[in-house]
Amino acid sequence: MIPYAFNYRRAQSIAEAQSLLKGDAKLLAGGQTLVSAMKLRLAAPSDLIDISRLKELTFIRREGDALVIGAGTTHHEVATSATVEAAIPALKVMAEMIGDPAVRHKGTLGGSIANNDPAADYPAALVALGATVKTTAREIAAEDFFTGMFSTALDENEIVIHVSFPVPERAAYAKFRNPASRFALTGVFVSKTKSGPRVAVIGAGSNVFRVPAMEQALATNFTADAIKGITIDAGDLNSDIHASAEYRAHLVGVMAQRAVSSAS
Amino acid sequence: MSKITLTVNGKSVSADVEDRTLLVYFLRGQRALTGTHIGGDTSQCGACMVHIDGKAVKSCTMFAAQADGSSVTTIEGLARDGKLHPVQEAFREHHGLQCGFCTPGMIMTAVDMIARGAATSRDAIRHELEGNICRCTGYHNIVSAIEAAAQQAGASKAAAE
């Protein structure tokens, strides 16, 4: 498959990337979604600004009560980082579940959240952990960052620099994959934080969402039993050939219970 | 057009490529390295697997221009002095193929997973093969081949220590 013609540019700095990012230009990080979309001619950028080699975007560090990960950090790097494992083991486990080994070698945190695929895993982690997205312009709370299916609060030439994840007391991620495509039919990230428990769901709706009823139940009793009877309204959920909205609603409950049981 | 300079199977190569040229087309069309296959061409089947700077990636899902400055290894770069790579040998020994179309990708993935120490059990090997599709074998002998090659690699590492 051959995409529409475009100009390839490799940025030497974030500042240069920003100056090149105008009109129909797009940033290229791991390219594991964008390149496929271009091959299908669903995306036709005029220019690709390659930011994958920018060292200033590739780092993992512990800063006090937060784990800070550069936008250019690959899923493989997150999945194999001792710093991530020590701070938020659930994030390591989640990164290990993304795509396949080759996709994890290329795909990045920044690329995943900027694309905001409804079935992407990272949005659940960001929302459940109360993370903050640092961009070239500002800091955005995760819940304000993900605005809808494939859309975010990012402005035209705003670039994600890093994500800061407050380290929770406990957290876990559970996902139910489509057995053929291995994409998430539903994934639930739960956390127990200083400000209370959080439950964030991906794959089931058009955008990541929290489940307040579960969070309230978990606040008094952080066990799977505490959320057993809580049902999810199927009205707003996705329905397609892979799963009905009712089935996805059921999976949210099951995955949330599994995540709470395994939280560490 | 971009001028790219990269290392392919140990040799330095410079070439002019159209910016939209996928790495797999560059390798097959401009370098005549046709061992890297185009299967689904959708980033799912893994027939196009190569190593970029030592890591397995799908060459149908990156542009040749992205590989500028990198070191690329294809299936043709594994054998040394006419002798098959131990993983290639294991695929032959355990009959880890039928039609052979997916085999170059399977072997490139296997070499990568063994190097990362990820081929620790048959279950782990199956999990690691998630990005490679074979439509003939049912994977059984592929898993056996990788398991044997991983054990052999572990044994030679232990002997060296």
CATH architecture of A7-50: 2-Layer Sandwich (3.30)
Please tell us whether the domain made up of A170-262 is placed in CATH 3.20.20.70: no
Residues B135 and B90 in one domain: yes
Domain boundary among B77, B100, B125: B77
Q: Sign of dihedral through CA atoms A71, A73, A78, A82? A: negative
Residues B68 and B105 in one domain: no
Q: Which two tokens stand for residue B157?
A: 């590492």
Q: Which residues pair with A26 in a beta bridge?
A: A48
CB of A230 within 8 Å of any CB in chain B? no
What phi, psi does B21 have (nearest 5°)?
-70, 120
Give the residue numbers spanning the domain of B36.
Answer: 2-77
Considering only CB atoms, which chain B residues are within 8 Å of A105? 55-57
Flag if B62 and A10 touch (Cβ within 8 Å). no
Q: What's the whole-model pTM score?
A: 0.95
Domain boundary among B51, B77, B103: B77
What CATH number is given to the structural domain containing B120? 1.10.150.120
Residues B63 and B113 in one domain: no
Q: Which residue ranges make up each domain of chain A?
A: 7-50, 56-166, 170-262
Helix (H) or strand (E) segment spanning residue A34? helix A34-39
Is residue B157 predicted with pLDDT exceeding 90?
no
Q: Given this model, what pLDDT does residue A264 score?
A: 85
User: What would the pLDDT profile of A125-137 be if each residue is shown by its tens digit?
Assistant: 999 999 999 999 9
Considering only CB atoms, which chain B residues are within 8 Å of A182? 130
Domain boundary among B50, B77, B104: B77
Q: Quick one: what percent of chain B has pLDDT higher than 70? A: 100
CB of A183 within 8 Å of any CB in chain B? no
Say how far apart CA A78 and CA A30 lie, in whole Å. Answer: 14
Residues B67 and B96 in one domain: no
User: What would the pLDDT profile of A169-207 be if each residue is shown by its tens digit?
Assistant: 999 999 999 988 888 999 999 999 999 999 999 999 999
Mutation to test the A interface, candidates B19, B45, B109, B127, most A Cβ within 10 Å = B19
What phi, psi does A256 have (nearest 5°)?
-65, -45
Q: Given this model, what pLDDT does residue B40 score?
A: 84
Residues B9 and B59 in one domain: yes
Residues 144-163 of A with CB under 8 A from B: none
User: What would the pLDDT profile of B107-138 be if each residue is shown by its tens digit?
Assistant: 999 999 999 999 999 999 999 999 999 999 99
Flag if A35 and B18 touch (Cβ within 8 Å). no
CA distance A39 to chain B (A): 8
Residues B90 and B71 in one domain: no
CATH architecture of A56-166: 2-Layer Sandwich (3.30)
| B17 touches B64 (CB < 8 A) | yes
User: What would the pLDDT profile of A15-44 be if each residue is shown by its tens digit?
Assistant: 999 999 999 999 999 999 999 999 999 999
Is residue A140 predicted with pLDDT exceeding 90?
yes
